[in-house]
């Protein structure tokens, strides 16, 4: 049994060994298989890794290519943009140039418009005179036209009708008779038979008569210094005339000073100061009721100290007593001669055109008490009695130097006889 056991046991041992060998073989085989499998897996992994690397490389290449493509696209776009920018810059430059031209043209157009507006807003003297003398023109020119059209021949009745028209226009009786006599002689001399031609002859005779009586209508303010003494009754427009005259001279670049010598009329000084402010001119004044000659004295010394080009002096407008007026003006004249003897002098009489023949009477009085060198005729735009201008020059020999044809500060203008006649008789 033991032997058997041993034998069996040996056998079993052998078998066990064989089994072990087989197992080893199997194990080896399994190891080999595992090894093979591992190798294969590694190879596959390597392959996969290679494939992944390739893919990565490919991806990188693709990405790089894409970047290159994008870069190339950007470069192309930049080139296009550069070209477009250059084109745009050229267009902008051209547009700017054109815009500049258009702007310049626009500026010229705008300046032209402004100038046209300025011209519209600021008509010349003749246009203002035409507008201001509408009432006088209607009263004289239209009536003359009506008379001449109603006659088929020139006779004495026609002259009588013309005479009536001139007298009612405040040309004055003496001046009218002189004009009609000269017109009658002219018609005979030139053998005029058509009534329509009489109007031109009448205009010509009026001009001649005015120029024969007064050779110069210019206001004398040269050489400087100059002094303008303004006289006239209350209410004729002395204060506004001084203000407008100051503004005119100031616009010509002259240095102006005003002396408020009308110390008797209530609020006269305040009104003159207001006009001085509007014109940008200083006013020398005293208290109300002060001696007018004292104000003129201070004005002269202020003008000397400030080297003023023109001193404009207002005076009291009292006319109820000729003796008092004469005394007052004579005192002022003595001071002017003593303190400002070297100045260019004008004595300017201000008259209201709307008063007609009353203005002629005032002029006669002032001419007796003062050496009147010229007349400023105000409110000519508000009257049909503009014929008074003709009487002032032809009958009294007083040159009309200034006319007011509106209420504005620029509406006081130098007088031109030719323009005046052309404006009232058309």
Residue ranges for the chain with pLDDT beneath 70: 1-132, 318-322, 382-384
Give me the pLDDT at residue 67, please. 64
- Residue numbers belonging to the annotated binding site for GTP: 232-239, 314-318, 378-381
pLDDT digits (tens, 9 = 90+) for 132-182: 677 777 778 888 888 888 888 888 999 999 998 888 888 888 889 999 999
According to the 3-state scheme, what is the secondary structure of the chain? CHHHHHHHHHHHHHHHHHHHHHHHHHHHHHHHHHHHHHHHHHHHHHHHHHHHHHHHHHHHHHHHHHHHHHHHHHHHHHHHHHHHHHHHHHHHHHHHHHHHHHHHHHHHHHHHHHHHHHHHHCCCHHHHHHHHCHHHHHHHHHHHHHHHHHCCCCCHHHHHHHHHHHHHCCCCHHHHHHHHHHHHHHHHHHCCCCHHHHHHHHHHHHHHHHHHHCCCCCCCCCCCCEEEEEECCCCCCHHHHHHHHHHHHHHCCCCEEEECCCCCCCCHHHHHHHHHHHHCCEEECCCCCCCHHHHHHHHHHHHHHCCCCEEEEECCCCCCCHHHHHHHHHHHHHHHHHHCCCCEEEEEEEEEHHHCHHHHHHHHHHHHHCCCCEEEEECHHHCCCCCHHHHHHHCCCCCEEEEECCCCCCCEEECCHHHHHHHHCC
Binding site membership: which residues? 232-239, 314-318, 378-381
Q: What is the pTM of this model?
A: 0.67
Whether 22 maps to a domain, the answer reads no
Please indicate, yes or no, if residue 355 is contained in any of the structural domains.
yes
Question: Per the domain annotation, does 345 fall within a domain?
Answer: yes
Tell me, what CATH number does 330's domain have? 3.40.50.300
> Is residue 207 assigned to a domain?
no
Q: Could you read off the pLDDT of 302-361 as tens digits, one per residue?
A: 999 999 999 999 987 765 566 777 778 888 899 999 999 899 999 999 998 888 888 888
* Confidence (pLDDT) at 40: 60
Which domain covers residue 250, as residue numbers? 226-372
In the prediction, which pLDDT does 315 show?
Answer: 86
> What is the count of structural domains for the chain?
1
261 domain residue, yes or no: yes
Domain contains 419: no
User: In this structure, is residue 346 part of a structural domain?
Assistant: yes
Provide the pLDDT for residue 292. 87
| 52 in a structural domain | no
What is the structure's pLDDT at 115? 44
């Amino acid at each position: 049994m033991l032997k058997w056991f041993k034998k069996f046991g040996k056998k079993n041992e052998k078998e066990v060994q064989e089994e072990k060998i087989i197992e080893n073989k199997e194990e080896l085989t399994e190891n080999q298989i595992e090894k093979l499998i591992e190798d294969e897996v590694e190879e596959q992994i390597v392959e996969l890794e290679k494939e992944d690397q390739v893919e990565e490389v490919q991806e990188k290449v693709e990405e790089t290519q894409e970047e290159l493509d994008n870069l190339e696209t950007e470069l192309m776009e930049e080139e296009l943009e550069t070209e477009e920018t250059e084109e745009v810059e050229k267009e902008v430059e051209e547009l700017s140039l054109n815009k500049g031209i258009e702007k310049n043209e626009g500026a010229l157009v705008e300046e032209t418009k402004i100038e046209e507006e300025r011209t519209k807003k600021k008509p010349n003297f003749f246009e203002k005179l035409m507008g201001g003398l509408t009432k006088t023109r209607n009263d004289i020119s239209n009536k003359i036209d009506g008379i001449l059209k109603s006659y088929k021949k020139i006779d004495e009745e026609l002259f009588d009708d013309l005479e009536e028209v001139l007298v009612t226009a405040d040309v004055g009786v003496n001046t009218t008779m002189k004009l009609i006599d000269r017109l009658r002689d002219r018609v005979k001399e030139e053998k005029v038979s058509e009534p329509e031609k009489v109007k031109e002859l009448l205009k010509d005779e009026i001009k001649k008569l005015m120029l024969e009586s007064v050779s110069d209508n210019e206001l004398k303010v040269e050489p400087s210094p100059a002094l303008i003494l303004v006289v006239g009754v209350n209410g004729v427009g002395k204060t506004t005339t001084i203000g407008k005259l100051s503004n005119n001279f100031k616009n010509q670049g002259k240095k102006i000073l005003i002396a408020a010598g009308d110390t008797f009329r209530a609020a006269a000084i305040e009104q003159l100061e207001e006009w001085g402010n509007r014109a940008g001119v200083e006013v020398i004044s005293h208290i109300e009721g002060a001696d007018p000659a004292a104000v003129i004295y201070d004005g002269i010394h202020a003008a000397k100290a400030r080297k003023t080009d023109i001193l404009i002096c207002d005076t009291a407008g009292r006319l109820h007593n000729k003796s008092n007026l004469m005394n007052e003006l004579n005192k002022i004249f003595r001071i002017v001669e003593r303190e400002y003897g070297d100045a260019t002098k004008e004595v300017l009489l201000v008259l209201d055109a709307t008063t007609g023949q009353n203005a002629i009477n005032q002029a006669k009085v002032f001419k007796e008490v003062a050496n009147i060198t010229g007349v400023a005729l105000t409110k000519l735009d508000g009257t049909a009695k503009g014929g008074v201008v003709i009487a002032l020059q032809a009958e009294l020999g007083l040159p009309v130097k200034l006319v007011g044809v509106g209420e504005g500060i620029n509406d006081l203008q130098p007088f031109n006889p030719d323009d005046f006649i052309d404006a009232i008789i058309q």
